[in-house]
Amino acid sequence: MADVNLNALVDGLSGKVGKKMVMRQRGGRTILCSRPTFSGEATTKQKDHRERFTNAAKFAKSALANPEVKDEYKLSVKGDTFMTAFTAAVTDYMTAPEIASVDVSTYKGKVGDAIVLGSAKEFKLITVSVSIQKADGTVIESGAAAASDALRMEWSYKATVAVPDLTGVKVVITATDRPGKIATLEKSL
């Protein structure tokens, strides 16, 4: 892949160049690269991926129709020459949400103790719920965590029920992203 700089002849061009090269526009720059090749009938895996990508494009168009969501996606790609709000929305759809960290060090089983969670990517998580459970899965308490910062990189949950004995108690975190994909993480105390 070649990046064409300061060449008035090809500036702004896109399309096929001969039989083996293609010019593309990315981030206001002209890129010269090899022409993609296709070999016969698409496999089932390729068809599934194309359908998933089509759904991602539909999601992106729908999400960007909301000005607030569009501004979030624009902010998430600020400074990246090759990313746009649309590509950020497509990427959001194509990748699963990820709970990067869970800090239970301040949770001692008292009302008001905090459980702090971290997201792997900014704006990725839309809702986060926390469930404190016994070893057998019986729910002691559950509720929604609140985003601690504007980028939704950190979330916090305050306990509402006292748990005198933390033996076998676990915390189950469920996070949902804008496209509706769910990530779950379980941490024993």
Distance CA 13, CA 47 (A): 30
Contacts of residue 126, defined as CB under 8 A and 6 or more positions apart, other chains included, come to 152, 176, 177, 178
pLDDT tens track of the chain, all 189 residues? 555 555 666 666 667 777 888 888 777 777 878 888 777 888 999 999 999 999 999 999 999 999 999 998 888 888 777 788 999 999 999 998 889 999 999 999 999 999 999 988 877 889 999 999 998 889 999 999 999 887 788 999 999 999 988 888 999 999 999 999 999 999 988
- What's the DSSP call for residue 22? E
User: Is the Cβ–Cβ distance between 95 and 128 less than 8 Å?
Assistant: no
Q: How many CB atoms lie within 10 A of CB 183?
A: 18
Question: Residue 159 corresponds to which tokens in the numbers above?
Answer: 């306990």
This model's pTM is above 0.75: no
Q: Which domains does the chain have, with CATH numbers?
A: 2-34 (no CATH), 44-94 (no CATH), 99-188 (2.60.40.1220)
Tell me, what's the pLDDT at 115?
93
Tell me, what's the pLDDT at 5?
58
Question: Residue 58 corresponds to which tokens in the numbers above?
Answer: 């539909």
Cα end-to-end distance, the chain, whole Å: 51
User: Taking phi first (over 0 means left), then psi (-120 to 50 degrees means alpha), and beta for anything else, what does residue 50 get?
Assistant: alpha
Distance CA 27, CA 170 (A): 47
Tell me, what's the pLDDT at 122?
75
Tell me, what's the pLDDT at 132?
94
Tell me, what's the pLDDT at 79?
77
